[in-house]
Copies of this chain bind each other. A is one copy, B any other.
């Protein structure tokens, strides 16, 4: 399987996972004497989780291309670690739905947010593994300089550390943990800060 095929298949999974997120936002039932505006407002955790997950998958898509643009050829290990990355990406609608539901209910939201942050952490770690496998296997188009490797490492680590902090924060405040995950995505949006 060539890197072109891997990219195309991964893009498909990214596009579907990002679009399936909307299925987690349900049409609210309006209680008697309640306005729809109020009922829609009550659903803010669904919109927040939708936004954070959308941004995160979007960033992973951008970074995935940045990574594969530098990778000349595939290996069996790379192929299956990439499948593992896709497993995390395509599972995101579940923790997204979970954190939205329990933030709304106001109970068990710490556990829900912890599952959410742990999924993003696992996804980020698997993404880092792709860099490491490509580096060790000599799969890059062009050998990276030590400085480039250091920059990449620091940028990747920054995200991982933030996700670990978010995971801890989840047990204190689920909303704050979700917000921190959103900030990680925004951090990678800033120019010159791309993971790749």
Residues of A that sit less than 8 Å from B by CB: 1, 5, 8-9, 11-23, 25, 27, 30, 35-37, 40, 50-51, 54-55, 58, 61-62, 65-66, 76, 79-80, 83, 86-87, 90-94, 97-98, 101-102, 107-108, 111-112, 115, 189, 191, 194
A98 B27 Cβ-Cβ under 8 A: yes
| Least CB distance, A60 to chain B, in whole angstroms | 12
B27 A90 Cβ-Cβ under 8 A: no
| Least CB distance, A169 to chain B, in whole angstroms | 17
B108 A35 Cβ-Cβ under 8 A: yes
- Chain A at the B interface: SS class: helix
Contact partner of A111 (CB less than 8 A), chosen from B36, B93, B97, B115, is B36
Contact partner of A27 (CB less than 8 A), chosen from B13, B17, B76, B101, is B101
B15 A13 Cβ-Cβ under 8 A: yes
B79 A23 Cβ-Cβ under 8 A: no
Which 8 residue pairs are nearest across A and B when measured between Cβ atoms?
A: A12-B15, A36-B108, A36-B111, A16-B19, A19-B90, A58-B83, A25-B94, A27-B101
